[in-house]
Structure 1
Amino acid sequence: DALDRIKEKLPTDNRLPSTDYWLQGRGWRVNDWGQTNFPTAAHLDALSRDIPICLSDHSGHAAWVNSRALQIARIDAQTADPPGGQIQRDENGRPTGILFEDAIDLVMRHIPNATTAQITDAMREAQAYCWRAGLTGLHDFDGRSCFIALQTLHQNGELGLRVVKNVPVYRLDYAIGVGLRSGFGDEWLRIGGVKIFADGALGPRTAAMIAPYEGEPDNYGIVVTDKEEMLDKASAASSHGLSVTVHAIGDKANHDVLDVYEAVRREEASRGQSLLRHRIEHVQLIHPADQARLAQLNVIASMQPIHATSDMETADRHWGSRTKDSYAFRTMLNSGATVVFGSDAPIEKIDPLLGIHAAVTRRRADGSPGPDGWHPEQKLTMAETIHAFTTAAAITSGQEATQGSITPGKLADFTIFGRDIFTIPQDELLDVSIDGTIVGGEFKHRTFG
């Protein structure tokens, strides 16, 4: 079965070191197995009871661990759920081996960190991949080690992508303490905003919902950061010149975030402060009563088209008729909100053509769910989609004067497609090659002489 296939991808005991070693992986999805029940520690114990194992799910909002990992983290029936997290338990209250949201940190804190040198080396490889995919820049939401590695590349003259570095909320006090503000930096590496998590994700059914998940009358998801704490953090960030990005998937999470931003906008107005580029990351399900509020509050909708086609079956299963208000690109754009597109890598592949195809077709690569696509009323035109990936991205980071369009005086960052994506049949978009990527007037990738 599916669990057996996963175990086939993992090394066997005789290939594992005997001490001081963790086996990590990611990418499993319960929904891909045609079920809603989660696996257990016992499944991984069959692989090893001596080596601790931690496997993150596709979304990164759930982890599957073995008994050795639970033992190291001292997670047992008496362990309380941490704020913003949940330890899944069996009928006797014992941990099953599945951890949700901030409960994952109970295990992750015991896993040795990669060194800065290792991260820097990995970034060199990742940067080259990004060039081949046609990317000239990105927004990063990783932590301190990643920021150090980015600075190392920049100082060595090796950074060839425009990077907007965002600050995890647990580093907010440090950022304020040293005086970081949104926009600090240069054309290669600059500070974006502060990242907060309002809720979980759809796949593990931890996105915070106004009404319960289909078939689960007691499951409303998980509130990772409640409104009071979120307002406290967002207010502190804003008052010190840092914009805020809040992850929100479920309709309750999006509602709560908008309430927080409404209060923050009032505070900014009372200070006579210019509007910071606050945004909601994902906006995957938004209640009809909240759909106009992003534009009213000048809050950016940062969305990922590939999620619509990747998640459609899962959304139909767990959200039912509410999916008419999910991944609502057209609704958001027509409301007057700034809609910006990205990939959410590594949750999905970073290649922008995948997102472009999803936005204009609402179909997967295999053509499913049919010629019209999933909720076709939410499709965008190619022009609207490219705007969301380029000009809107520059607006989001306050760089529209120098980036986001091919205009005299702006930075010479271009992507060269093998075919005209505005005129070819949409079914052929995923076959288009990236023939060249130019950053700062220099070819970083090219397939021609």
Structure 2
Amino acid sequence: MIGTVSLRGILAVWFAMAGPLGAMLLSAPAQAQVSLYTAVDLARRNSAPVRIAQADVARAQASLSETRDVYLPSFSAGSSVGYTYGFPVGQPTLFNGQAQSLVVSFSQPDYIRAARAGLHAATLSLQDALDQVELDASLDYLQLDTITQQLVALGEQKSYAEKLEQVEEARLSAGVESQIAATKAELNGSRADLKRLDLEAQAAVLRERLSHLAGLPADSFRTKPESVPGAPPNLDRTALPMQTSGVQAAFSDAASKHYLARGDDRQILRPQAAFGVQYSRFAMFNNYRQYYNAFQHNNFDVGIQLTIPLFDAVKTAHARQSAADAVHADTQAEQDRQNADEQVVQLRKSLATLRAQAKIADLEAQLASQQLQSVLLQLASPPASATPLTPADEMQARINERARFSDALDARFALLKAELSLLRVTGGLHAWVDTAARQ
């Protein structure tokens, strides 16, 4: 009947519309807007450098346990049953069990100290890896956010360049403009296309890097500009720590090498004592009774083995090698400390220059905006005494304003990059990232 719609018809129409819509929704990648704190926090837990450092800590813990556990008895059990003919050359045991442990060693305490210092170095290296991952994730996030804003401005700049090109082509066709102006307008558009390709390539690399750090899909990563905190005040007066975690790790590693060299040097001309106990149950079906008058099945022995190494060329050479490794580690740690000091001085001295450059870029962006407003005002109300402006002048002013805005974004990022690098050295980066959680 006319005016009556059946349920089957409604369902048919609904499925017909929902099919293409569902396909579109499934084919479109879901984009998640991720805050700075979330990206950095995920990088702390998922990045490969942090997991490698955590594995190094676990290895150092196991190494320390290994050096201390040599004083604990080790137990083993077995059997060596077999046929014998003639004079017996072994003990055909049905069952044997033994235990042994180190009792006295002049080298082992130094090995334990070396392992403990190595664990401390691994823990400091883990903290250094966390600090570096925080810096890398923060800088990649901020650069991606900057490029995202630049791409928006560049899209507007490209549209203005196309309009300028149309205006110049029309003026050229009318005979009131030369070919040079049309070529300049086309050049503006080509430059915008080239910069867009460069920015899109950088954004793709940054998304891939953040994907590896944070464990998020690269294609769906979007920044959240309002989650970025401002730079801390009085950064030039921030007190420096005595040593960064990376430098402290280098000195702890050098201390570990020194303990190891001392332990290797004490392997010669110093007694070593080991404790041992063994029980054996000999077989009854072998021919031991033919050769031993007092053969018995149950046998037990316990005692201390004392060893005094008098000469060992291999151990002596190894001790010299360990001593050279200790000197190398000492020198490397001192070099790391010097490099860190030089980096701090360089960053602090560059802050004034970068601040001046950022200020100039901001002023140039403000000037371009003011010039654009002046052009718009003159186009709306042309002065009687001045040369009248054209739509080409408006498009050129808009292009310049967008270009100066993009330059200001670059200058601000360069300044913020130096500030965060200095925060990483001074130990304030973690606190800065935590303030992003309250944004």
User: Is the TM-score greater than 0.5?
Assistant: no
Which fold has the larger relative contact order, with Cα–Cα distance below 8 Å and residues 6 or more apart in sequence? 2
TM normalised by structure 1 equals 0.17
The structure in which a higher percent of residues are strand is 1
Structure with bigger gyration radius: 2
TM normalised by structure 2 equals 0.17
The structure in which a higher percent of residues are helix is 2
